[in-house]
Structure 1
Amino acid sequence: MESTTKRQPIIPPPFQVWYDAYHFAPATRVGDTIWVSGQVGATPDGTVGEDIQAQARIAFESLKAILEAAGASLADVVELMTFHIDLQGEIEGFAAIKDEYFPERFPSWTAVGVTQLVFPELRVEVRAVAVAGSGEKTVVSK
């Protein structure tokens, strides 16, 4: 994807339904920076994962698809922010799935406990900031 300083909404076809219903872009890219809207444990067709791990997997798969449509990958994620209905009770199950998607070179991460999400059956929401091309491995001196 061509780098530009103009704001580009990223709306992959499966996510058009969310864009139309709730009037938000799944992601916005300016230059190499991509801000991904919160992804929940429900697919665009409305299927909700049955537990925290299933919902985390759906959210991370959505994040991955949106980043790919923006010309980036999970390796380019520099920051995650997650919102949890039961942060203390479900963080271990969530973190196990997160670590499948981010097995190394972990991004910055903030986890916040909240009282509710957009639909009552949802357990978690994941938003991210990525910088396209930043995921290339480099040697960091200590």
Structure 2
Amino acid sequence: MAPKIQKSDAEWREQLSDTAYRVTRQAATERPFSHPGFAPGPGTFLCTCCGEPLFTKDTKFDSGCGWPSFTAPLAGEAIEEHVDTSHGMRRTEVTCASCGAHLGHVFPDGPPQAGGLRYCINGVALDFKKDGES
């Protein structure tokens, strides 16, 4: 499925920081533990490129891996999964269904009581909106 939101490379470069551009548009990975974190309290994590809601705070957990981790996306259609064979590995890449932004990867080593998945997402690919904020 083609992304709904399409912009030129120049438009993405103008909108995003250098790191966010490399991660979301070129499928790079930010350094572990390099993202400063998110505000306390309930809320929703949005795609930094298009603002689409992707994950909720109640599915976030500390996996110790150095990147924000979630047990499930907000809605199944919010993200897309693709086979990623880069770096000599076979992984499942996660992208934003609305704009195609690379978010991270999903692994089958999450909390068993929450479905067993760990969505390992680059912090720079997310914006956080606290509940009640407009």
TM-score, with structure 1 as normaliser: 0.28
TM-score, with structure 2 as normaliser: 0.29
Larger radius of gyration: 1
